[in-house]
Chain A
């Protein structure tokens, strides 16, 4: 008998069917992976199981008995702990307080000593991989994103619940952190705990999972043993019938002719979080930036774009000096920057799709009037090229799934063709379908002569798309991989080399 079962649960928000028919069975002592594209309903299913959302229909069984989960507290009592995709930390409190937030030791007054001792147990689990300045008394606000994510993980672990749900827990972590986290999960599994794991990363799914449940369009499609399936099959299940979209085919680097014109030449660029970075990008070339998370890749891209202007160094764009003083200045010169943090840098929440897709076009064309009909016509080709699904330009962008929101934000940059496209981990948290669509487009743009700089936290994306890869370590480039050297092994090795 399954420890936890959701049978035919469904949930509708207004007119949106978030989940049509979700089925999930989790055994004791297994890591159960839940996978599906964004908007497919896996997060909703998790939230139903964790008690933060009530299903409209269907039933939940805990060890065979029907259970009514009336709220997060009830779920915790039953024995379900959850890690949420949206960080839910108290930024001004300490690491220890956050870890034990739902179960602070002491009565009316918090017992600080007990608190720190207890929290230390969870911090020690990640010994040596937490990075600098991470301790029980550190204020969460001062931590790096990956460290905050570790706190969130520790918080989930501290529930000591028999069933632990992790909704994309590794998006900000570096490889060493992920490895340690997986070791911990395996130990928990061996202790008989049940773990539900949501991830978009194939390598993680196969490294960790025992079984995988695939959700597509709000319905559970299949549950497979990991040992009896492979990535291609999982992707096929996720994508559905369309064979052409199944797997990301390995990329043969476009032989960028040696004569190709250098579009962007960066020389000895330094700034906040990186130093002395130099590289050239030719027309039609996709330059990859790789390495562990947070080694300066994003910082270089943001500096080039003028979001946080560099402190020294020179940049030539089409042989003319580029002053990266502000995004407005660099956009006018032909740069485009797509951030993976769409909520912060991209989405104009609450505004219609039309207003979200047109600002860059308006800037480049010096538009002062907004004529919706003509703007719609301008935006359509870019949205179509990305296979964006949306009902109408006047609908708020928030009505779309994460992947489609990101497509709207990306399309913003492509209405008027930029010379250089800077991609800063552009697929973070979007579904595989959207990733496939995006990379198809990126390669097409390169083939048409655009110079592209791609930072990705997923090695497969770099290996599959980049013609050259610069590996970053500690804020500078430590190695360049070209041609046949672009192997997972080399990339891994270069990333871990001491700087």
Chain B
């Protein structure tokens, strides 16, 4: 099925109370700002947000947190110079946090999208982030068992889409987008431009359309 082209508000109706939502971006690069704004407007709550950071400033993810819609954040780096919204909620005990090393975060979503049941990672061996986790020594090296992270919905930002839903990205704004697109039941991509089928060279497609359900055009 090809992706449907919709407005942001219609796209995020896929998000239900209690959902796990994967949110792309590394800082502001690749952050699906308009989709997050639409999600705030939509009103779904009790959400688990999986993203590299836990919001910057007062917009985007930070605004979603400030609106009280998020029960738990799964991320690698919540604490930043401008993460005051998350910091306040965390210190007040109003939000749960699961800190995951950045590579494990990406690989756990990759595993979800690739149908892998779990994997042994060398990252975090001997650290507090491996406490309570199963370990195994393979060829003399110690590994920690990590489970997939699957999303109900992924909100990502890409550069260009065709009407099938094939996506290209720009520079380091690619970051988590291609991985998250594979790991959610419904993937919604905001893109700068939607072109006709055949107008993207198949050789340069980064995210094949099979992973993309809804497209929202947000011209730059």
A binds B: no
